[in-house]
Structure 1
Amino acid sequence: MTRHPIITGLFETHINVSQLETSMQFYGEVLGLELAHLEEQRRIAFYWMGGRGESMLGLWETPPAEVARQHFAFRSTLEGLEKAASYLKDKGLQGYNFLGDGTDRPMVFGWMPALALYFRDPDGHSLEFITMLEGKARPDVGVISLEDWQALQNG
């Protein structure tokens, strides 16, 4: 499969939120994203992700009944993912992994390979911290702990 020469990545994502101020507090103050632009009359806020000009998140206030839960992932680093669970706890948020095993341990998707941890915003949107890992993709291992992934890579 060839890569399309015009598309080089995803620049912006937009989600509907039930209360703009609550979501602005969450994404701006809790997660630390930089406010790029606010249109109070239209009830829209835009945030930079990864620094100015890298990518953008748009928050659009809509009636609560029209807020369908969505999912998107924030790119991170291995060091960031290793600290993600405590970072979320410090912010009063609960992390969870893909396995839903009741822990907040990030897990590896062998088919990518990537390490990920999930959490939710005030509207229940599923958010994720994710980082690609070194090594060959291993779809045969499924979803495993980072320790098990590292043992496979070293073994």
Structure 2
Amino acid sequence: MIKGLYEAHLPVRSLDISIPFYEKLGLTMAWRDADTAFFWIEKGISWIGLWEGEEHKTPYHPSLRHIAFRTSYEEMKQSLHWLASIGVNAVPFGRRSTVEPFVRPNQGNASVYFDDPDGNSLELMCFVDVPEALRHITDKLSIQEWETLLESSAQK
């Protein structure tokens, strides 16, 4: 029945500030009215709605005001450079002190985080092929640590 994500929504203080930010990410506007703008994530498949209003003051929590955009593993390795090239700063995730992308072997994914102008948490995320022998690892590993681990496990 469920085929994928159709839409997600975020609160913003000003569409005039948020629209250029989301365009900078490469998203294409689907439509806009006085207090709402929708951007295609994948044209004709999924979009994100930005809603201007006081709701942008809602405190951040991972279950609120967060969206993860899918990317590839190869693009993830270049994500800090790409974000910097469009003037966006990555932010640490949780208790991490570094902003670099990291791999979650037990979940089979990798992430890097950044915020929009209203403090909504945005994430680039990709699937990662994890050998069964490494699926037990719950640590968050940098891309370099992950690739070193993969090389050493392949040599065994």
Q: How high is the sequence identity, in percent, across the aligned residues?
A: 32
Say if 1:74 and 1:129, in contact at 8 Å, map to a contact too: yes
Which residue number in structure 1 is paired with residue 8 of structure 2?
13
Question: Which aligned pairs between 1:90-105 and structure 2 lie closer than 5 A?
Answer: 90-98=85-93, 100-105=95-100
Which residue number in structure 2 is paired with residue 22 of structure 1?
17
Say if 1:16 and 1:68, in contact at 8 Å, map to a contact too: no
Question: Which aligned pairs between 1:2-151 and structure 2 lie closer than 5 A?
Answer: 6-28=1-23, 30-40=24-34, 43-50=35-42, 52-63=43-54, 66-69=57-60, 70-98=65-93, 100-136=95-131, 138-151=135-148
Cα distance in structure 2, aligned partners of 1:95 and 1:140: 25
Q: Which runs of 5+ in 2 are unaligned?
A: none
TM-score, length-scaled by structure 1: 0.84
Change (3 A) 1:100 1:112: same
User: Which shifted more, 142-151 or 73-82?
Assistant: 142-151
**Runs of 4+ more than 6 Å apart:** none
Say if 1:97 and 1:106, in contact at 8 Å, map to a contact too: no
TM-score, length-scaled by structure 2: 0.83
CA RMSD, aligned part only?
1.9
Aligned residues: 146
Deviation at 1:22, TM superposition (A): 0.6
Cα distance in structure 2, aligned partners of 1:64 and 1:13: 15
Code of the aligned partner of 1:119: F
Deviation at 1:46, TM superposition (A): 0.6
Q: Which runs of 5+ in 1 are unaligned?
A: 1-5
